[in-house]
């Protein structure tokens, strides 16, 4: 059994189908998907240590199986610049998340490198009729507003990926939008091929969400990750 399989096996053994944030990120890392730097912490003291290792400015995110949407409940705070700000954000976050999800069991927080650029979304799903599908779109907060997403069946070829990119209505955003870094299309193509291959190799993955993947000056980085296994 390889390392990806043993993560899935472990999740199954715990009678779960949803991988937690760390497990999802671990699988993606093993598959060669680029991620931003991230460290977990279980309390404020530890998060201050981790923040100094990652280097300010950082992003703080709540880690809890019970929190479905982190930012909607105050569970994501970007642009934290000092120990003091972190301490303030940490307390506010715990309070906000718990007022949104009163019964949530909070496992800890993640302390993450801050990255900027065009936000894309890449996701996979399992359609009852067609099987495994992959989606590319303009990501982050705009997804729900514009629904600017293209789909293909897995496995995809480079030609399929090129067509998917061409179908994005807002693809002018890939071209250096308002001074943001350009999206490297070769890199994006190879990331989509990597994800397609991952799903082909591990059909046990029911759904996978990378929203957003940020096109930074230094290349693509997934900054949010979720994997759900077949029942």
Ligand X SMILES: Nc1ncnc2c1ncn2[C@@H]1O[C@H](COP(=O)(O)OP(=O)(O)OP(=O)(O)O)[C@@H](O)[C@H]1O
Ramachandran sector of residue 184 (left: φ over 0; alpha: ψ -120 to 50; beta: rest): beta
Please say which residue, 160 or 221, places its beta carbon nearer to Mg ion: 221
- Give the rounded distance of the alpha carbon of 118 from its chain centre: 14
C-alpha distances (whole Å) from 142 to each of 49, 58, 120, 121, 170 are: 34, 23, 9, 10, 11
Residue 28 touches which member of ligand X, Mg ion, none, C-beta under 5-8 Å by kind: none
Q: Applying CB under 6 A, which of residues 69, 91, 147, 169 lies at the interface with ligand X?
A: 69
Provide, rounded to whole angstroms, the least separation between the CB of residue 67 and Mg ion. Answer: 12
What percent of the residues of the chain are helix, what percent strand, and what percent coil, each to the nearest 5?
40, 30, 30
Provide, rounded to whole angstroms, the least separation between the CB of residue 17 and ligand X. Answer: 16
Provide, rounded to whole angstroms, the least separation between the CB of residue 163 and ligand X. Answer: 26
C-alpha distances (whole Å) from 89 to each of 79, 110, 214 are: 10, 13, 23
Rounded CA separation 106/111 (Å):
15
Provide, rounded to whole angstroms, the least separation between the CB of residue 226 and Mg ion. Answer: 8
Provide, rounded to whole angstroms, the least separation between the CB of residue 192 and ligand X. Answer: 19
Q: Which residue is nearest to ligand X (CB)?
A: 71
Residue 140 is a binding residue for ligand X (CB under 6 A): yes
The interface with ligand X within residues 17-36 (CB under 6 A) comprises: 36
Cβ neighbors of 183 (< 8 A, separation 6 or more) are 118, 120, 173, 174, 175, 215, 220
Phi and psi at 73, nearest 5°, equal: -105, 15
Q: Applying CB under 5 A, which of residues 224, 225, 227, 228 lies at the interface with Mg ion?
A: 224
Q: Are 227 and 210 in contact (CB under 8 A)?
A: no
The string of DSSP codes covering 142-195 is: GHHHH--EEEEESSPPHHHHHHHHHH-TTGGGGGTGGGPPPP-HHHHHHHHHHH
Using the rule CB under 5 A, give the single segment among 75-83, 107-115, 165-173, 216-224 that binds Mg ion. Answer: 216-224
Show the site string, 89-128: x = touches ligand X by CB under 6 A, - = not.
Answer: -----------------------x-xx---x---------
Residue 211 is a binding residue for Mg ion (CB under 5 A): yes
Residue 3 is a binding residue for ligand X (CB under 6 A): no
Residue 212 is a binding residue for ligand X (CB under 6 A): yes
List of residues contacting ligand X (CB under 6 A):
36, 59, 61, 69-71, 76, 78, 112, 114-115, 119, 140-141, 211-212, 223-224
Which residues of this protein are in contact with Mg ion, per CB under 5 A? 211, 224
């Amino acid at each position: 059994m390889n390392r990806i399989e043993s993560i899935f096996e472990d999740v199954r053994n715990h009678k779960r189908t949803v991988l937690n944030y760390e497990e999802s990120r671990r699988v993606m890392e093993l598959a060669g998907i680029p991620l931003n730097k991230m460290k977990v912490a279980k309390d404020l003291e530890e998060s201050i240590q981790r923040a100094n290792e990652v280097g300010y400015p950082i992003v703080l995110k709540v880690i809890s199986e019970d929190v479905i949407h982190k930012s909607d409940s105050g569970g994501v705070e970007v642009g934290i610049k000092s120990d003091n700000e972190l301490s303030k954000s940490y307390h506010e976050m715990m309070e906000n998340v718990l007022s949104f999800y009163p019964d949530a069991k909070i496992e800890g927080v993640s302390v993450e490198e801050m990255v900027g650029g065009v936000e894309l979304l890449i996701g996979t799903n399992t359609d009852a009729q067609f099987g495994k599908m992959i989606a590319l779109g303009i990501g982050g907060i705009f997804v729900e507003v514009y629904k600017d997403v293209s789909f293909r069946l897995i496995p995809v070829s480079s030609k399929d990926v090129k067509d998917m990119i061409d179908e994005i209505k807002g693809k002018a955003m890939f071209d250096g939008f308002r001074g943001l870094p350009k999206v490297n299309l070769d890199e994006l193509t190879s990331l989509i091929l990597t994800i397609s291959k991952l799903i082909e190799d591990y059909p046990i993955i029911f759904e996978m969400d990378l929203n957003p993947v940020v096109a930074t000056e230094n290349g693509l980085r997934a900054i949010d990750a979720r994997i759900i296994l077949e029942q």
